[in-house]
């Protein structure tokens, strides 16, 4: 058993255990953290498969940003989770059935694919490039148009999400930093010329 194989089993079992914890643990924060651990272990597995860019992107995007916001929300929530968990046993058979069907479908898909297409050499290695370089060439040269279309759709989605959540509230005081920066002395302070009070009195 090579060192790599040992690493794979360790990371894969940690990922599986953490995924189990996500759905079984009571505390939602611990569940979210377990999801983080799942992502991280999967990234390690991908690293072992030499998909370094995917692995780092997973950590960067999902662990570093998405899950932080997720935790953020979960911590702010004040939900009585005993109510949410009610009916766990009642719905368990349905859940198990759905999970079993999904597992069967995935196994079938992967099995059929792996039977049809023989395991080929890593295309990046064949092209004599690093994983990163090959991915860049493929995305930005061979599949440039689909990539750009996907980017456009995502941008439209982003703008839609922003406009949906944007609401103008009345009665709030909003700062305009531009105006604040451009403020002049004359706007804030008025110097008034006036005579000294008490004519003829001279101090000691």
Partner 1 sequence: MIDAMRDAMLAWGDTGLVGWTVLKILVIAVPVIIAVAMFVWWERKVIGWMHVRMGPNQIGPWGLLQAFADVFKLLFKEVTRPSAANKTLFYLAPLIALVPSFAAWSLLPFDWGLTLANVNVGLLLLLALTSLGVYGIILAGWSSNSRYAMLGAMRAAAQTVSYEIAMGFTLVCVMILSGSLNLTEIVMAQAGNKGFFDWFGFPLAPMLVIYFVSGVAETNRAPFDMAEGESEIVAGFHVEYSGSAFALFFLAEYANMLLIAFVATVLFAGGWLSPLQGWITADVPWFDWIWKGGWQWTFIKAFGFSFLYLWFRATFPRYRYDQIMRLGWKVFIPICLVWIVVSACLKYFNLVTMGA
In the complex, the residues that contact partner 1 under the rule CB under 8 A are 3, 27, 29-30, 33, 36, 52-53, 56-57, 59-60, 63-65, 68-69, 71-72, 75-76, 130-132, 175, 177
Q: Which is nearer to partner 1, 90 or 173 (CB)?
A: 173
Considering the complex, what minimum distance in angstroms separates the CB of residue 30 from partner 1?
8
Considering the complex, what minimum distance in angstroms separates the CB of residue 15 from partner 1?
17
Q: Which is nearer to partner 1, 68 or 99 (CB)?
A: 68
Calculate Rg over the CA atoms of the chain. 30
Q: Which is nearer to partner 1, 15 or 59 (CB)?
A: 59
Q: Which is nearer to partner 1, 68 or 106 (CB)?
A: 68
Q: Which is nearer to partner 1, 82 or 172 (CB)?
A: 172
Considering the complex, what minimum distance in angstroms separates the CB of residue 75 from partner 1?
5
Considering the complex, what minimum distance in angstroms separates the CB of residue 106 from partner 1?
28
Considering the complex, what minimum distance in angstroms separates the CB of residue 76 from partner 1?
7
């Amino acid at each position: 058993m090579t060192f790599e194989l040992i690493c794979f089993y360790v990371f894969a079992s940690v990922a599986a255990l953490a995924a189990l914890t996500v759905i079984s643990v009571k505390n939602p924060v611990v569940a979210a953290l377990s999801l983080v651990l799942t992502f991280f272990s999967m990234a390690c597995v991908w690293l072992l498969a030499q998909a370094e860019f995917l692995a780092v992107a997973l950590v960067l995007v999902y662990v570093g940003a998405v899950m932080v916001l997720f935790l953020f929300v979960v911590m702010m929530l004040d939900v009585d989770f005993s109510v949410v968990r009610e009916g766990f046993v009642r719905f368990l058979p349905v859940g198990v059935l759905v999970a079993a069907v999904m597992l069967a479908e995935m196994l079938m898909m992967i099995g059929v694919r792996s039977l049809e297409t023989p395991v080929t050499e890593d295309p990046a290695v064949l092209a004599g490039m690093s994983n990163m370089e090959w991915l860049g060439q493929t995305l930005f040269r061979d599949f440039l148009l689909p990539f750009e279309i996907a980017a456009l759709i995502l941008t439209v989605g982003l703008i839609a999400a922003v406009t949906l959540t944007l609401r103008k509230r009345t009665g709030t005081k909003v700062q305009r930093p531009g105006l604040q920066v451009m403020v002049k002395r004359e706007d804030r302070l008025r110097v008034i010329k006036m005579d000294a009070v008490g004519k003829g009195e001279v101090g000691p």
